[in-house]
Amino acid sequence: MKVALFIPCYIDQFYPQVGIATLQLLEKLGCEVAFPLQQTCCGQPMANSGFASLSKGCDINFVENFSGFDYIVAPSGSCVLHVKEHLKDESHPEEAKKIRNSIYELTEFLTDVLKVETINTRFPHKVGLHNSCHGQRGLALSSMTERMLPEFSKPEQLLSMVKGIQLSKPKRNDECCGFGGTFCVFEEAVSVKMGKDRIKEHDANEIEYITGGDTSCLMHLEGILKRQGSKVKTIHIAEILNSSL
Amino acid sequence: MKTTHAALAEKFIADEPRTDWHDETLWFVREKRDKAAHGLPEWEQLREWGSQIKNHTLSNLYNYLKEFEEKAVANGIKVHWAADGDEHNKIIHEIIRKHNIQKIVKSKSMLTEECHLNEYLQEHGIEVVDTDLGERIVQFRKEPPSHIVLPAIHLKKEDVSATFHEHLGTEKGNNDPQYLTEAARQHLRDKFVQSQLAITGVNFAVAETGGFVVCTNEGNADMGAHTAPVHIACMGFEKIIPKAEHLSVFLRLLARSATGQPITTYSSHFHKPRPNQEMHIVLVDNGRSRQLGREDFRNSLKCIRCAACFNTCPVYRRSGGHSYHTAVAGPIGSILNPNLDMKANADLPFASTLCGSCTNVCPVKINIHEQLWKWRQVIAAEGYVATSKKIGMKGMDFLLSKPKVYRFAGKMGRWMIRIVPFVVNNKLNVWYKQREMPEPPKESFRDWYLKNGKTNKK
């Protein structure tokens, strides 16, 4: 199975270990992974700020890099959602459409396409799961407390395969962390308050790690945790699923 | 410069314990809503029906409004049409003048807040007494409501006690809710008995009957309408529904979504004036036609004003209704208000993380968070964002759309943060104010991949 790996810009620059874990995990699960070398950003920062008109360059570059693959996988629900909903290329509309329909967030790719049922991995720690809104509500990676539908969770399904892990959920299981892209600086006070409140609920479960499928949420929470001098660490779900494989 | 949501929210959050209390109070209401919705196996089906009935109605507004007017007039109700808030206020003023009315009671109507009726009448020397308990409290304090269903939700019982001590002469420091409510009850009872005119809102107007339904928990709309010789009901024209049987969908959705009650305590049906009573209905456009013409935003007019999107919104709960500086706050307000005044409300669609919870709770399935995103595009295209932001975005586009520039800038940026961290760890960096920056690695993922990626393959 030929899979193209999309590593969002901020992961590429600040969290290479998340990209490495994703790549290794996919390869160990039998995928032939390509990493298109001229990839940059999906364009979401501009589009969510009201300047979708300025994300054309990113769109064109994205289509150039990711055309012709069966699947595109990224360790970020938010960037995947943006590509799914907004990727456009007037000169290559068919390619853009194909990309929109074949891009997957990592955990849904593992559960829905690879249909992973066992993972030989151990992570003997107390871990709190943070559901990113774009992954959960946008991509329907798990059921949502607002909707009256059967319960499920793709990330939890995968984490339950990890040996030794003690998984806990915060009291408000699907409340936003407050990152919100440029919201985190333009609405700094609310953003930080939302993050602090998430951390408080995870702290109540006495966890060692907060994990999730979106490094952007984790980066925001990590920034607050470090400022608080907390011992709690953030870790991307790919790193847990790839540990001691 | 006009005060923005971000600035007002920062002020609100400065009192952190109070912010926590506000957040928890509204979360409690959200959880009550969840429980009530869980009690109905057909909940998601009801939402779908609610949504489809409203879609159908918006597509046939002209016919239903005409039908409603004909039936209402035949029932003996006087029907008025107002193009905007000012005309709405003038119509009501005219009725007041004609009858030489002095004493007016008003039950909760967000439309009259939107049209600033109280201020208008006050300027003409006419006083209106708001009879909803929460509204009376904020009226005493000369504040606007901070929530469309729970107007005084930003206040604690201690605040109410102080306000009632000042205005109703209650015992200083007596915070007993029962005592305070009783004081308001006695005070309002007098106003009801003396009133010559009752103004109410409208929750649903039924085209096939020409009647309308007003929902309250306090019975104050009924008290007013049943005692005063003149009753004026004010409604935005999107309140119309085709048939009485559709109430079986909306009345079940409304209270469960709003407060988690199975139904509002009073759901009063008005059809015609009683003998010697005069009944008026004012149908208001005030920008609604314009919104109807905006394809991306028209379905915001499906709103039944339950405020479920307020209660679930993590931003609203932590910034308070007044930070939205408009009559209708919260997520729904942020997609309605740019239509009323795009420049003044340009900040509101940005007061959201686009988490999508609002869309999920909406009983009539308005895609609120998608409309917030779309309003951002419209507002940027119309030039209502700060020039500095626009320049920043252009710079970002330059950086992120060109692979070589991106890689060079990334490398330089990481190198700078490592070598001279004070370049970013300073007061000018808003992120750094309450958060540490991520630690920059020596190499990017791509750097690593070029060195190790291939050898890692099986």
Please state which of the ranges A30-39, B233-242, B386-395 shows the lowest mean pLDDT: B386-395
Domain boundary among B286, B317, B332: B286
- Mean pLDDT of the region B293-317: 98
Which residues 274-303 of chain B have a CB within 8 Å of chain A?
A: none
pLDDT tens digits for range A67-98: 999 999 999 999 999 999 999 999 999 999 99
Residue B421 neighbours by CB distance under 10 Å: 14
In a domain, B385, yes or no: no
**Distant-in-sequence, close-in-space partners of B323: CB < 8 Å, separation ≥ 6:** B5, B8, B9, B11, B12, B329, B351
- Mean pLDDT of the region B12-37: 98
Structural domain count of chain B: 2
* Beta strand pairing call for A71-74 and A103-105: parallel
Q: Are residues B94 and B237 in the same domain?
A: yes
Inform me whether the C-beta atom of residue B430 falls under 8 Å from chain A C-beta atoms.
yes
- Mean pLDDT of the region A53-63: 94
CB contact under 8 A, B441 and A16: yes
Roughly how many angstroms between the first and final C-alpha of chain B, as a whole number?
61
Find out whether B431 and A184 touch, Cβ atoms under 8 Å.
Answer: yes
A126-241 maps to CATH 3.30.70: no
Total-model pTM:
0.96
Domain boundary among B251, B286, B321: B286
Q: What is the DSSP letter of B355?
A: -
Q: Residue B458 above 80 pLDDT? A: no
In a domain, B103, yes or no: yes
Nearest CA in chain A to B417: A14
pLDDT at B3: 87
Give the integer Cα–Cα distance in Å for B74 and B57: 22
CB contact under 8 A, B380 and A50: yes
Give the integer Cα–Cα distance in Å for B202 and A104: 46
Find out whether B303 and B328 touch, Cβ atoms under 8 Å.
Answer: no
Inform me whether the C-beta atom of residue B384 falls under 8 Å from chain A C-beta atoms.
no
Strands across the sheet containing A209-212 = A166-168, A126-130, A209-212, A233-236
Number of H helices, E strands in chain B: 21, 10
Inform me whether the C-beta atom of residue B319 falls under 8 Å from chain A C-beta atoms.
yes
3-state DSSP percent of chain B in helix, strand and coil, to 5? 55, 10, 35
CB-CB neighbors (< 8 A) of B389 in chain A: 49, 186
- Both tokens of residue B295? 């394809």
In a domain, B435, yes or no: yes
What SS3 state is found at B140? helix
Q: Spell out the domain ranges in chain A.
A: 2-113, 126-241
CB contact under 8 A, A50 and B350: yes
In a domain, B92, yes or no: yes
The residues pairing with B234 across neighbouring beta strands, listed in sequence order, are: B282
Find out whether A89 and A60 touch, Cβ atoms under 8 Å.
Answer: yes
In a domain, B222, yes or no: yes
Q: Residue B454 above 80 pLDDT? A: no
pLDDT at B1: 45
- Which residue is listed with tokens 């993050």? A195
Q: Evaluate the CA torsion angle B147, B150, B152, B157 in order and state its sign.
A: negative
CB contact under 8 A, B406 and A40: yes
> Kind and range of the H or E element at B53?
helix B43-59
Confidence of residue B229 (pLDDT cuts 50, 70, 90): very high
Nearest to A13 among B10, B376, B444 (CB): B444
CB-CB neighbors (< 8 A) of B448 in chain A: 16, 19-20
In a domain, B326, yes or no: no
Nearest CA in chain A to B4: A187
In a domain, B12, yes or no: no
Smallest CA-to-CA distance from B288 within B58, B447, B16, B14 is with: B58
- Mean pLDDT of the region B391-407: 91
Give the integer Cα–Cα distance in Å for B409 and A9: 12
**Distant-in-sequence, close-in-space partners of A184: CB < 8 Å, separation ≥ 6:** A178, A191, A220, B431
CB contact under 8 A, A38 and B403: yes
Nearest to A175 among B314, B360, B373 (CB): B314
In a domain, B350, yes or no: no
Give the integer Cα–Cα distance in Å for B389 and B396: 10
Give the integer Cα–Cα distance in Å for B248 and B246: 5
* Domain interval for residue B116: 40-286
Give the domain CATH number at B274: 3.40.50.10420
* Beta strand pairing call for A233-236 and A166-168: unpaired
Domain boundary among B286, B317, B335: B286
CB-CB neighbors (< 8 A) of A23 in chain B: 449, 453, 456
Give the integer Cα–Cα distance in Å for B39 and A115: 34
Nearest-Cα distance to chain B for A126, in Å, is 23
Confidence of residue B456 (pLDDT cuts 50, 70, 90): very low
Nearest-Cα distance to chain A for B456, in Å, is 7
Confidence of residue B419 (pLDDT cuts 50, 70, 90): confident
- Mean pLDDT of the region B180-207: 97
Q: Residue B355 above 70 pLDDT? A: yes
Nearest CA in chain B to A225: B435
Inform me whether the C-beta atom of residue B353 falls under 8 Å from chain A C-beta atoms.
yes
Q: Evaluate the CA torsion angle B321, B323, B327, B332 in order and state its sign.
A: negative
Residue A94 CB-density burial (10 A; 0-12 exposed, 13-18 middle, 19+ buried): exposed
Left, alpha or beta for B454 (phi > 0: left; psi -120 to 50: alpha)?
alpha
- Both tokens of residue A171? 């009291």
CB-CB neighbors (< 8 A) of A47 in chain B: 373, 377
- Mean pLDDT of the region A237-241: 98
CB contact under 8 A, A222 and B438: yes
This complex has an ipTM of: 0.97
- Which residue is listed with tokens 């990017």? B444
CB-CB neighbors (< 8 A) of A61 in chain B: 401-403
CB-CB neighbors (< 8 A) of A223 in chain B: 431, 435-438
Give the integer Cα–Cα distance in Å for B34 and B43: 11
pLDDT tens digits for range B56-111: 999 999 999 999 999 999 999 999 999 999 999 999 999 999 999 999 999 989 99
Nearest-Cα distance to chain B for A151, in Å, is 13
CB contact under 8 A, B352 and A180: yes
Q: Within chain A, what is the greatest distance between any pair of CA atoms?
A: 53
